[in-house]
Amino acid sequence: MNIVKHTAKKIKEGMLKDMARQTRWIYGYARRYWKSMIFYTISGLTGTAVGLAASVISKDLVDIITGHHTGELIKTFCMMIGFNLGSQAISLFTSYLSNWISIRVDNEIKADIYEKMLSTEWEAITQYHTGDLLVRWSTDASNISEGVLSFIPNLIIYLFKFIMALSIVIYHDATFAIFALIGMPVSVIMSRTLMRRMVNNNKRSAALNAEMSGFNQESFSNIQTIKAFDLIRLYCRRLRDLQQKYLTMKLEFNKMSMVTSFIMSVVGMAVSYSCYGWGIYRVWSGAISYGTMTLFLSLSGQLTSTLNALISLVPTAINLTTSAGRLMDILNMPREDYSLSDDVARLKEHAVKNGITVEIHNMSYTYANGTQVFKNASFTAKPHEIVALVGPSGEGKTTMLRILLSLLRPQSGECTVSTKYGISEMSLQLTPATRALFSYVPQGNTMFSGTIAENMRSVKPDATDDEIINALKLSCAWGFVSKLPEGIDSSIKERGGGFSEGQSQRLSIARAVLRKAPILLLDEATSALDVATERNVLKNIMRDDYPRTCILTTHRPTVLGMCSRIYSIKERQCRVLDDNDVQKLIDDF
């Protein structure tokens, strides 16, 4: 009665509806690989048929030896060996084929999901911890790839094996089928109990795996901070606490699994001994031959194992739909719109001579948590200008740059990029496609592991060594890079390791300059540089003949004298400062 109530409650909560929706999503991937699935199924069916044929031939061999049947002993013996070898060969080939297809499908699905995750709107995807995203991409995607290939083929193969084995048993002695199937009701009941536990365990396990992955990722990324604050013992204790939670959860589920496995083993033994006893009786009474009894004992084990395999597909299906649901949570988020890519390419082509103007009019933006950052803000930056954004921390300077990059979408207002060519003007709304017009140097260390040249060419793959060196000179980085034994082929460790903060900043600026984008965004990008180097970098960038528009955020007033305009971002407003305001800002620093 409790089971019925529990099931009815789950159905009301939409469990079946969710599983159906997740199954349709999985089918969208499965149909891409239908040829591989058919080939895998045919191989499995062939192996099953050959194996069953070997069992029947072994029966004839026993009957020939015991004198219950006449025939060619050597020929039958050779046939049995041949079919057994054939069954093994097909099994090994199917296993190899399965691994080959599974790895290929896994790679393709992960690549597809990776691309979709990266193209999800930034504000939406950042709601998830990177550790959680990693678990969903790796573990859940692997579950999908394995299930896409194996679930339906295995269902067909197991059903075929079960039906064929049962048919052979019934053909030779129908009474034997009763003993062979006596454990079926127990198997079904136990699997239902285990299935309910597995649904909850899968969800808890996925959530805890994500928590542990996030903890490990943050720990290894912040080893310096952990050491500096002497937090090693604290973090080791936190890891052990997480491990204990994981152990407790697994042991709870394993206890149930052990009880279930023990009962299933007892039932299996009861079925085997029953079949054995009934076989002895039938041989003793002369109803069947020794070969037939051998065949029955072999097939009874296959029937039990195949039935258990069929039942095990139920939790497999649940695991699949659970993984699908976790991936769908991410992939059903809003996707970025690149429909204006062709228009952006044309605008960039026209901007080679005249550059690009960035304009924002009456823009308002509020975070998802309800915090309003801007209200009716306006802003303009033109080619050959350096425009600065100043103001207290947390008031919206970095948010403004993210809006320019279309990482965030304002709730109202106009945000455009435009260029003049001839007597005409081309203007576009800011969208993810317009990022092709920007180079960006964010706060912090953003260099990737690899060589300096590889980092530079990530934004311009066809860049020559001379172009890279020129960009390094503009950012005042060539002075220290030229002294390295391997020059631009010198290695950079993770998070810019091996270089000082100021050197890493100059390398980041060089990478942005190399991209040759008409708009350059610098978010506190010169904060680690001394005043003289900071001014030289900006002078070099703007002295370049390219009609670049430069927008920077800064807390330091030392470069404000080089700026065409300075905007103060404070109390949700963005307003131009006059000369007196700028002087006061410098005096108060």
Cβ of 111: how many Cβ atoms within 10 Å? 11
Q: Which long-range contacts (CB under 8 A, 24 or more apart) does 31-36 make?
A: 33/101, 33/105, 33/148, 33/149, 36/101, 36/105, 36/149
Looking at residue 520, what is its pLDDT? Answer: 92
Residues 349 and 245 in one domain: no
Residue 239 forms part of a structural domain: yes
Looking at residue 433, what is its pLDDT? Answer: 92
pLDDT digits (tens, 9 = 90+) for 473-495: 998 999 899 998 899 899 888 77
Residues 234 and 295 in one domain: yes
Residue 229 forms part of a structural domain: yes
Looking at residue 133, what is its pLDDT? Answer: 85
Looking at residue 70, what is its pLDDT? Answer: 57
Q: What angle do CA 175, 176, 178 make, to 5 degrees?
A: 75
pLDDT above 50: residue 378: yes
What is the average per-residue pLDDT within 392-421?
A: 89
Looking at residue 191, what is its pLDDT? Answer: 57
Dist CA 505 CA 511 (whole Å): 10
Residues 213 and 93 in one domain: yes
Residues 322 and 354 in one domain: no
Q: Is the C-alpha dihedral spanning 251, 257, 260, 266 positive or negative? A: negative
- Percent of the chain surpassing pLDDT 90: 15
What is the average per-residue pLDDT within 256-274?
A: 69
* CATH number of residue 228's parent domain: 1.20.1560.10
Cβ of 545: how many Cβ atoms within 10 Å? 5
Q: What angle do CA 451, 455, 460 make, to 5 degrees?
A: 135
Token pair, residue 478, equals 């060539």
Residues 305 and 235 in one domain: yes
Residues 273 and 373 in one domain: no
Highest mean pLDDT among 70-79, 123-132, 337-346, 540-549: 337-346
CB 256 within 8 A of CB 200: no
Residues 382 and 455 in one domain: yes
What is the average per-residue pLDDT within 241-250?
A: 84
Please tell me whether residue 529 adopts helix, strand or coil conformation: coil
pLDDT digits (tens, 9 = 90+) for 150-169: 788 888 888 888 888 888 87
Residues 361 and 288 in one domain: no
Looking at residue 183, what is its pLDDT? Answer: 58
* Residue 563: closest CA among 358, 356, 382: 382
pLDDT above 70: residue 550: yes
Cβ of 224: how many Cβ atoms within 10 Å? 10
Dist CA 488 CA 511 (whole Å): 12
Q: Which of 308, 331, 354 is the last residue of a domain?
A: 331
Please tell me whether residue 60 adopts helix, strand or coil conformation: helix
H or E, element range at 70: none
Residues 268 and 352 in one domain: no
Gyration radius of the chain over CA positions: 34
CB 466 within 8 A of CB 488: no
Looking at residue 204, what is its pLDDT? Answer: 73
Domain holding 462, by residue range, is 341-588
Q: What angle do CA 28, 30, 31 make, to 5 degrees?
A: 75
Q: Sorting pLDDT into bands at 50, 70 and 90, what band is 236?
A: confident
Please tell me whether residue 33 adopts helix, strand or coil conformation: helix
Q: Give the mean pLDDT of the chain.
A: 80
- Which residue did the predictor score with more confidence, 468 or 203? 468
pLDDT digits (tens, 9 = 90+) for 84-138: 787 788 778 877 777 777 787 788 888 888 888 888 888 888 888 887 888 888 8
Residues 300 and 376 in one domain: no
- Which residue did the predictor score with more confidence, 190 or 27? 27
pLDDT above 90: residue 223: no
CB 323 within 8 A of CB 140: yes
Residues 456 and 506 in one domain: yes
Spell out the residues 6+ positions from residue 343 whose beta carbon is closer than 8 angstroms to its own: 428, 433
pLDDT above 70: residue 189: no
Q: Sorting pLDDT into bands at 50, 70 and 90, what band is 2?
A: very low
Spell out the residues 6+ positions from residue 331 whose beta carbon is closer than 8 angstroms to its own: 113, 116, 117, 120
Q: Which of 272, 300, 331 is the last residue of a domain?
A: 331
* CATH number of residue 580's parent domain: 3.40.50.300
Give the helix, strand, coil percentages of the chain, each rounded to 5: 70, 10, 20
CB 22 within 8 A of CB 134: no
Residue 319 forms part of a structural domain: yes
Residue 489 forms part of a structural domain: yes
pLDDT above 50: residue 439: yes
What is the average per-residue pLDDT within 202-225?
A: 76
pLDDT above 80: residue 355: yes
Q: Which of 301, 331, 361 is the last residue of a domain?
A: 331
Domain count, the chain: 2
pLDDT digits (tens, 9 = 90+) for 270-319: 766 777 777 777 778 777 777 777 777 777 777 777 777 777 777 777 77
Residues 303 and 350 in one domain: no
Nearest 5°: phi and psi at 289?
-95, 170
CB 179 within 8 A of CB 282: no
pLDDT digits (tens, 9 = 90+) for 380-394: 999 988 899 988 888
Dist CA 467 CA 523 (whole Å): 24
Residue 336 forms part of a structural domain: no
Looking at residue 585, what is its pLDDT? Answer: 76
- Which residue did the predictor score with more confidence, 263 or 362? 362
Please tell me whether residue 71 adopts helix, strand or coil conformation: coil
